[in-house]
Amino acid sequence: MTELPGEFELIARLAALFGPPPNGLGIGDDAATWPATGDTVQVATTDMLIEGIHFRLDWTSPEDLGWKALAVNLSDLAAMGATPGRALISIAVDAARRGLVLQVARGLQSLAERTGTRVVGGDTVRSPGPLVINVALVGEADPARLLRRDAARPGDLVGVTGCLGASSAALTLLSERPGPLDPAAAPLLAAHHRPLPRLVAGQLLASRGVRCAIDISDGLASEALHLARASGVGIEIDVGRLPLSPAAVRLLGERRSRELALTGGEDYELLFTFDPQLVDELASALAIDGGLTVLGEVTDQVPTGTAQFVEAGQPIELAERGYVAF
């Protein structure tokens, strides 16, 4: 039997089938771009959340689900250095639960208002069971300052905003510890249910000369590999420098928190590379949105198209790479 393609292979085949657009970015980055009027480009992305796969309504309120559905898309715009935008919201739900639509929409609208996003349309349909929500979002950016996955260069440093592993630590606690959670889990639950996309950080990075970024939706290990492959470079990351979530360390221990920071996913922080001369300027600029942790470097010492993780100078093997759909 021939093996079915994995998620990345499927996307590569789709990219070959559809072909590149005549101008702007097509499949392969966090968002697509095309020329707009004036000196800007439109930046577009879409992401879908499925009940039972991406969320459970016994753990997530409908309002939080709406917030998150928009947040994951805004995070892709942040990773391009773009500003939002207008959104289209599509929801599939079974007839008995159609009252949820307005609750989901209210949560989504609270983040839309906070970020200057306008919802201008969508689609509402009946589902045979699971609730599905899809958001399509268009924003705007300066084409000369786009943050792209393919712009890392040897000699760059690798940086990340915020802390890692909080959202997946919440998921771990919800699935492994039924019953009321320790109050110390509050920041983890907030990160899981109401992630704050790094829109300000993305624009600050773009305006200060950074050109390469990706958002961390599927875990640092997987996103570092995407950057290395898209840019045709090798990346080295020191796991001793990972900005672990303090609440995760307290409730799950350092070792587990480190695993979650590497492969847990849903952090919605930005991973980026930059000229080492920018380090002080970026550290002070990012103080207002997540801060900066330098994790490693882009280097010829690591094979092209790979991301190597080291601990105390020694390469380590990761058991897994992060979330993949198939």
Judged by the rule CB under 5 A, the positions of this chain that interact with Mg ion are: 30, 76, 215
Structure tokens that stand for 68 in this block: 């998150």
State the minimum distance, in angstroms, from the CB of residue 149 to ligand ADP: 9
Does residue 11 bind ligand ADP (CB under 6 A)?
yes
- Contact at 8 Å (CB) between 140 and 222? no
State the minimum distance, in angstroms, from the CB of residue 72 to Mg ion: 8
What residues from 62 to 81 belong to the interface with ligand ADP (CB under 6 A)? 76
User: Which of 312, 162, 164 has the alpha carbon at shortest distance from 239?
Assistant: 312
State the minimum distance, in angstroms, from the CB of residue 134 to ligand ADP: 12
Q: How many CB atoms lie within 10 A of CB 13?
A: 11
Exactly one of 33, 42, 43, 47 binds ligand ADP (CB under 6 A); that residue is: 47
By C-beta, is 76 or 269 nearer to ligand ADP?
76
State the minimum distance, in angstroms, from the CB of residue 178 to ligand ADP: 30
What residues from 293 to 322 belong to the interface with ligand ADP (CB under 6 A)? none
Residue 27: contacted member of ligand ADP, Mg ion, none (CB under 5 to 8 Å, by partner type): ligand ADP
Cβ-proximal residue to ligand ADP, closest one: 30
Q: Which residues of 297-309 are buried (b: 16+ CB within 10 A; e: fewer)?
A: bbeeebeeeebbb
Task: Taking the CA atoms of 321, 223, 56 and 260 in sequence, report the sign of the dihedral they define.
Answer: positive
Stretch that binds ligand ADP, among 22-30, 57-65, 98-106, 284-292 (CB under 6 A): 22-30
Please give the single-letter amino acid code of residue 291.
G
Exactly one of 83, 172, 203, 217 binds ligand ADP (CB under 6 A); that residue is: 217
- E strands, the chain, where? 32-35, 41-50, 83-93, 118-126, 132-141, 157-160, 212-215, 235-238, 270-274, 293-298, 307-311, 314-316
- In which region does residue 227 sit, left (phi positive, over 0), alpha (psi from -120 to 50) or beta (all else)? alpha
User: Which of 91, 89, 148 has the alpha carbon at shortest distance from 117?
Assistant: 89
Cα 37 to Cα 45: distance, rounded to the nearest angstrom: 19
Residue 63: contacted member of ligand ADP, Mg ion, none (CB under 5 to 8 Å, by partner type): none
State the minimum distance, in angstroms, from the CB of residue 223 to Mg ion: 8
State the minimum distance, in angstroms, from the CB of residue 49 to ligand ADP: 12
Stretch that binds ligand ADP, among 26-34, 59-67, 186-194, 298-306 (CB under 6 A): 26-34
Q: Look at the chain and count its residues.
A: 326
For ligand ADP, the binding residues (CB under 6 A) are: 11, 14, 27-30, 47, 76, 217
